[in-house]
Amino acid sequence: MRIPEGYRSKQVEDRRGEAPAGGGRGLSGGGVNLLGFLFRRFGIAGVLVGGAFLYFTGGLDLGGGTDTSSRGRSGAAPQTSTQVAEKDPMVDLVSFVFDDAQSTWRELFARDSKQYSLAKLAIFREATESGCGEGQAAMGPFYCPADNYVYIDLSFYQDLRQRLGAPGDFAQAYVIAHEVGHHVQHLLGSDQRVQRAPRSQQEGEGGLSVRLELQADCFAGIWAHGTERRDLLEAGDVEEALNAASKIGDDALQRQASGRVRPESFTHGTSAQRRRWFQRGLTTGQPSACDTFASSSL
């Protein structure tokens, strides 16, 4: 993927210089809530596989504080993007993709006479405080609707490449674009509607949680649709994103974790579904094509 060297976003905070939330030891706050969530959804296999396998693309509500005006961070004050090390290609990538994805959605919102509110992105190491509770590296990247932040520990990309077999900068870009997709859903009220629905409607292979995640995949594809027009794509980029979508399907992750696939516990969709909906956004570039909630077949 072609990106400007040394790109820094004003919407990105570098918190890697902070002391880890909770001292970086044990599990507290959101960490405890995360394990409870994994156990309720996936049983002991879900706890063992961890958030880096099952939840790196999800917008989890970790059950933390609800005060969106103060995130209660520990340690030193967060660094701004201008304080990030000058030569850091990974920060170049996440900064550019985050801004580029938001520019895409700002244009699409304006086309429909809607106002787009910018999200922010926090880069952290090991753990950090969020409006949704304590975020930890093991959870993978996540979006917090309580403070409109995307959170990422960049070490996740090593797991994506080495453990999940999804290398490439466009695979990494897909992760960021998916999380921006969750922010878009929050602005549209989609996530709130899902949360208000009965749990029986949220869960399972055709449930609302899966439909929400697949729509975020489709929204990531919408961003990718514009990258070719802007001459950002290089050979093999699209294949990297499609490969990543395949590697993090619920069926693939459960099979890798325990050798058993449990459709009743799906939250993000199968590998085939994730590829399909990303590709649908990529092909059409139209939000109307991403209505997973109205689709009779995912």
- Vertex 134 angle, CA 245 and 75, to 5°: 120
> If we measure between CA atoms, which residue out of 199, 213, 295 comes closest to residue 248?
213
Global pTM reads: 0.81
**Confidence at residue 202, expressed as pLDDT on a 0 to 100 scale:** 94
**Confidence at residue 46, expressed as pLDDT on a 0 to 100 scale:** 40
- Vertex 170 angle, CA 167 and 175, to 5°: 90
Could you tell me which residue, 137 or 81, shows the higher pLDDT?
137
**Confidence at residue 86, expressed as pLDDT on a 0 to 100 scale:** 59
**Confidence at residue 18, expressed as pLDDT on a 0 to 100 scale:** 85
Please compute the mean of the pLDDT values over residues 26-51 and round it to a whole number.
39
User: What percent of the chain shows pLDDT beyond 70?
Assistant: 78
User: What percent of the chain shows pLDDT beyond 90?
Assistant: 71
**Confidence at residue 23, expressed as pLDDT on a 0 to 100 scale:** 53
* Orientation angle between helical segments 208-229 and 237-247, nearest 10 degrees: 170
**Confidence at residue 228, expressed as pLDDT on a 0 to 100 scale:** 85
Rounded CA-CA distance 39/34 in Å is 9
Q: What is the pLDDT of residues 248-275, one digit of tens each?
A: 999 999 998 899 999 999 999 999 999 9
Q: What is the pLDDT of residues 10-29, one digit of tens each?
A: 999 999 988 776 654 333 33
Rounded CA-CA distance 148/125 in Å is 19
Tokens standing for residue 234: 């290089």
**Confidence at residue 156, expressed as pLDDT on a 0 to 100 scale:** 94
Give residue limits of the domains in the chain: 12-290
Give the least confident one: 1-5, 10-14, 182-186. Answer: 1-5
Alpha-helix residue ranges (DSSP H) falling in 189-297 = 190-196, 199-202, 208-229, 237-247, 250-258, 271-284
Q: What is the pLDDT of residues 56-89, one digit of tens each?
A: 434 433 222 223 233 333 333 444 444 545 578 9
Rounded CA-CA distance 221/290 in Å is 10
Residue 264: is it exposed, middle or buried by C-beta count within 10 angstroms (0-12/13-18/19+)?
exposed
**Confidence at residue 21, expressed as pLDDT on a 0 to 100 scale:** 63
CB 4 within 8 A of CB 67: no
Please compute the mean of the pLDDT values over residues 95-101 and round it to a whole number.
98
**Confidence at residue 252, expressed as pLDDT on a 0 to 100 scale:** 92
Whether 220 has a pLDDT exceeding 90, the answer reads yes
